[in-house]
Structure 1
């Protein structure tokens, strides 16, 4: 028996045999032809890879389909194609050129401060591996599970999970993936237990054996004894029995034991096909919107999607975060975006779409990466330009409640000035604020464990004290499952609105309802 400890990514317990997703070894038995033939082979491989991705995307939904479209966009990206073409022209084989480009473009994403963008480096590796497999003539067969199993991998590629019969997946265990990797996000959305960051070599060691995956405690027990299996089976049975009926807590009002009211809001992405239900929720937010840039959506398309979102919200507030182009500019498929934006964070078609759609619901908009009043004033000037242009074109616009995301210490320190300059709400991204405040930009896991650091609490407490007399609303956002345990500390200092990923909402509600505040 061996017990390995990682990071919980999706709660639950699973017991079963272990199957491994092995991405194999590339580069065997390659023969390099002349550059013209190598380039022709590469071009054909890209056509085949894009065809496979399109077929997969037809079966996928929402964010899953978006990821596949990201991969297609990368294969069409001029800078990516030129990088490979130049290396082939210098005498390299097509497969080797793709592997080199994979390292270059994946490393660019890995060096981005934003953890979500950093995790998209796996998408680069995934699509490059697909092209390399075609060039190497390796079969790309889907893994057929003959029995329900716990899947292990060094890291999961998105296409690994798209091709599986998900009814056969008991749980996911990964050596490297993080809690915001696609595997973790998918596991939470499907209710599949998942543990990540188990460490190098664990997946290969566990394959072919029986294991207990306890994603509540973050452990993988390989070759457990009979007593451990019986205990785990009992927990699973109780969980299933409990799950037969909706959790009664979900229908209860959001009140602590002392009668203090609090509000909960589920997060989502503007491209999600299934908007979180609003029954019992104080609203929807934060709504991420980076895909409007990556797909270069028109004003009409964005206006229609925003109206759909507001309609589905059924009257509750929708807190939407404008696209964060500073992060997305580092993505290889958005290489031409920086010139087009002329260094502006704001994407004018998005602002125009929001101004047009606002009449259809309670829309509240926040701007990310605002470090000081000068940034805020630039944003407001751009909003005014967009409004004026719409009016000149004969479109009606509606007032917006505007604010900013507090994700940097400078924004927290300058909160009073931002409010004096017109910020009507502040959305504190608590994990980002902790990362930047405590110098943990490259270590998000450590940042989650430091959310109750006195320095971070003091910044939030000061914002709340300054906002109250001015009637400015404050939201605490960026709350993941891993961050739930820190939230009573923020309830204690006065936070009353919490925006959390859907999987964290019920655990967060239960924990806050237990507080004597």
Structure 2
């Protein structure tokens, strides 16, 4: 775990993967033509750059639009144009001439005493980078985000943020920007957290890792690969920020920590039929189980399912959403068959749902969970069908993202084969404790009796097996299927090693209160 401390530029807090925006041009090999051709190429690049800036300005308003108009004016400035033209006439390439002008004009602004004017040097760098990228044939969009991320850069350019979908930006972390830089101003207007002046080395250490960006309550830190305690505290702050004016429960305002400081995580279990913009229940750090039976029963098309899941992800502010594909045991009158192989052959139901999920994956932190997996053969059948759906989508879109895929462990066979399932590609395991109890104890038709026996020693032994196999392979395990009736029997699984709990909304805070009273130092792990 690494912690960088900086200055808060926009209040808020975010947890997520870190992606770097790199403005470097190292390694480019340029061929310089005669001065007349280089000047012609430069003139064309300026026309294209101005056209791009005008289109961007039409999608923005207020101060953001003014930034772009200033950049257009700079490209039309006579002294700026003459500086570049003279250097090209002396034999330099167009890109090198623009880079030289960038240094000269940005340097002049950096030498001004007024901090606000000094910060405007970033506009010079930004517009010059745009022209250079056109001349070098590089894309103007520095980053293609496939999931909501915290962005890190030595210094952010306005175009970095203009070119990205706001919903994909969790926060900004910068080495050099100040609280009055364009990046800071834009972060405040966009309502995303930002920490600046973090110092050298942050991008190299943070990129590709999970981090907490905390600019709340006077904090200004970027914590790379945070431990469970920091995640619990951050989850609590994020949950509070999502209350949207609702009166918070005092327990919801506390981090998810036991008496001895062991961190745990609470997620909600809910239905896909709920309103997409419905806020997360108090105390939930995400959705650990999104049931989709209602979507199937409503006979929604692939496009309709895609829109519903996409809206859920877009409204989640980067929180995890784990979608369970249709569960054959969720309804006695379900139109699908009991065996997963038969269900998969019925592509009319399965393929539209999988394709909708693959299409929605870039819009948030999506996970997909498959229920009723008896063993490796069932799991590999699922993976094959996902690949088939991806291949079909590739015909219209070459860039299809497969989100993390996992299993619902709801049968004893899946629990005993957890290690094999992980070795064959399962990236997440969610133990449905109620279903596992039903199938283990022969209570298939009696959910009430199962809820009262989820702590049965046989069930504990199966859960412990899953935890051991997953822990040895670095895969997260979630306990789901927790109802208000089963809450008193759940703490034993905290002692066994479960740290992630997916709970129906009514049971979230009661379970949190119960788990916070546990002390793992003084309670030996039960021997089932």
- Which of the pair has the greater relative contact order for Cα pairs under 8 Å at 6+ separation? 1
Structure with greater helix share of residues: 1
For the pair shown, the structure with the greater C-alpha radius of gyration is 2
